[in-house]
Amino acid sequence: MEKIFEQIDNLFVNGVINGIISIVIAGIVLIAINKLLNKFIKKKWPDNYVLQKRIKKIILITIFLAIVCSEVKFLKSFATALLASGGIVAVVIGLASQEAAGNLINGAMIMAYKPYKIGDFIVVTGHNVRGTVIDISLRHSVIETLEKTQMIVPNDIMNKAIIENISQIEHVKANYLYIDISYESDIDQAIKVIQDLVVKHPLFIDGRKDKQDPLVPVIVSDLKDSSIQLRATITSEDNVQGFQMLADIRKDLVTEFKKEGIEIPYPHMHIVK
């Protein structure tokens, strides 16, 4: 029995008892650190902390395994290699210009600086991407479009692009309604019809800072070859409600313009015989 214990004792650098004590103490310390990091992560990233907790878990497990291996003689060299592998992180950061590594670095920057978060409605300028952010990982961001499809955009693109975060608008969202009428139509009556329809819509909100301004500003935005273009500024609570309101008003305008004798010009048509 003594020989067996002696053989086991010889497996550890400082003896089996000291080795086990060191491992237990290290485990207790890492558990305490884990709890502190969990609180910090939830406070720093209250909306999305799953990825951060996974990274934290991997790091702590790696440290614990390195400590265990360092106490065992024949695993000590492995522990050194395991700890030395931390240098790989520096290499990865140095290779951030490469696509894969760049996505990881840019993903970490997005999570740290939070230009957008899960649930935000964003527009990625120059890439024809608009929709609600439903997931953010180190590699990519997932955006659900208005058509209910999902677009997976690499973080390398997201971190470099100009992003319009509509969800972070403090008060209201301005939406623009463009409508063409014929030169023979009554412009003032057309403007009145538009304003009346907008004010009656349940999703419309008063977004004026100065109450002396028109409730629904309508201007002549262009004089075309065969039509006059009007532009109405319509305010809503957010982009989604604005999109719905514009769709409803366009539909109602067709009916109301017909009643008022206001003509919406047809496109030029060529008949080929």
How do residues 130-171 score in pLDDT, each as one tens digit? 889 998 887 788 999 888 889 988 888 887 888 888 776 556
Cα 227 to Cα 16, 51, 190, 262, distances in angstroms: 91, 55, 13, 12
- The residue ranges of the chain whose pLDDT is under 50 are 87-97, 269-273
**pLDDT (0 to 100) of residue 189:** 95
**pLDDT (0 to 100) of residue 241:** 87
* Phi and psi, residue 48, nearest 5°: -150, 100
Task: Using a cut of 0.75, tell me whether the model's pTM lies above it.
Answer: no
CA distance 229 to 187: 10
**pLDDT (0 to 100) of residue 207:** 82
> What's the N-to-C CA distance of the chain in angstroms?
107
Under DSSP, is residue 161 helix (H, G, I), strand (E, B) or coil? coil
**pLDDT (0 to 100) of residue 41:** 77
* Phi and psi, residue 66, nearest 5°: -65, -40
